[in-house]
Amino acid sequence: MEWVETIREKISGEIVAIDGKTIRGSKDVAKSKRAIHMISAWASQNGLVLGELATSEKSNEITAIPELLKLLHIKGCIVTIDAMGTQKEIAKVIVEREADYVLAVKEKQPALHKDRFRLFYKRNRCY
């Protein structure tokens, strides 16, 4: 992490994409080993991974994202996360770290999905 910070160009408003991936070929059925799932933070303008954390399962991505965010210098950045990471606690950590966020919302989150459209149309209504 320290090495990345020494070479990373500090760009205000940089987009930091958080995403989880399962490492192909990491599952070993014969040894009863599950596949390795990683959470990564990608600095799009700098073209490098800022940090990674392994999770025990894909569902633990929700708990791993805040931990990864706490390790990173994201002040002034824009953090993007897919719908799995659209959680109140994750948004709270991003705001505490003085960054902005773009979080995906799917219809699987009906109340949030409905509120998003209501807020958007209310603010953009022409009078």
* CATH code, domain carrying 27: 3.30.420
Which pLDDT belongs to residue 48?
A: 85
Q: Which residue has the higher pLDDT, 52 or 4?
A: 52
For residue 85, count CB atoms less than 10 angstroms from its CB and return exposed for 0-12, middle for 13-18, buried for 19 or more.
buried
Can you tell me the distance from the alpha carbon of 8 to that of 46, in angstroms, rounded to the nearest whole number?
7
Q: Which residue has the higher pLDDT, 3 or 9?
A: 3
> How many Cβ atoms are within 10 Å of 48's Cβ, its own excluded?
13
Percent of the chain at pLDDT exceeding 70: 79
Does residue 19 contact residue 42 with C-beta atoms inside 8 Å? yes
Put simply, whether the predicted model's pTM sits higher than 0.85 gets the answer no
Domain that holds residue 58: 2-123
Residue with tokens 């390795």: 36
| Cα dihedral 107/113/117/123 (nearest 10) | -160
Strands (E), 1-127: 15-22, 37-43, 48-55, 78-81, 100-103
Q: Which residue has the higher pLDDT, 87 or 8?
A: 87
The answer on pLDDT for 86 being more than 50 is yes
Which pLDDT belongs to residue 127?
A: 43
Does residue 66 contact residue 93 with C-beta atoms inside 8 Å? yes
Percent of the chain at pLDDT exceeding 90: 31
Which pLDDT belongs to residue 61?
A: 87
Q: What is the mean pLDDT of the segment spanning 10-29?
A: 82
Which pLDDT belongs to residue 104?
A: 82
Total of domains in the chain: 1
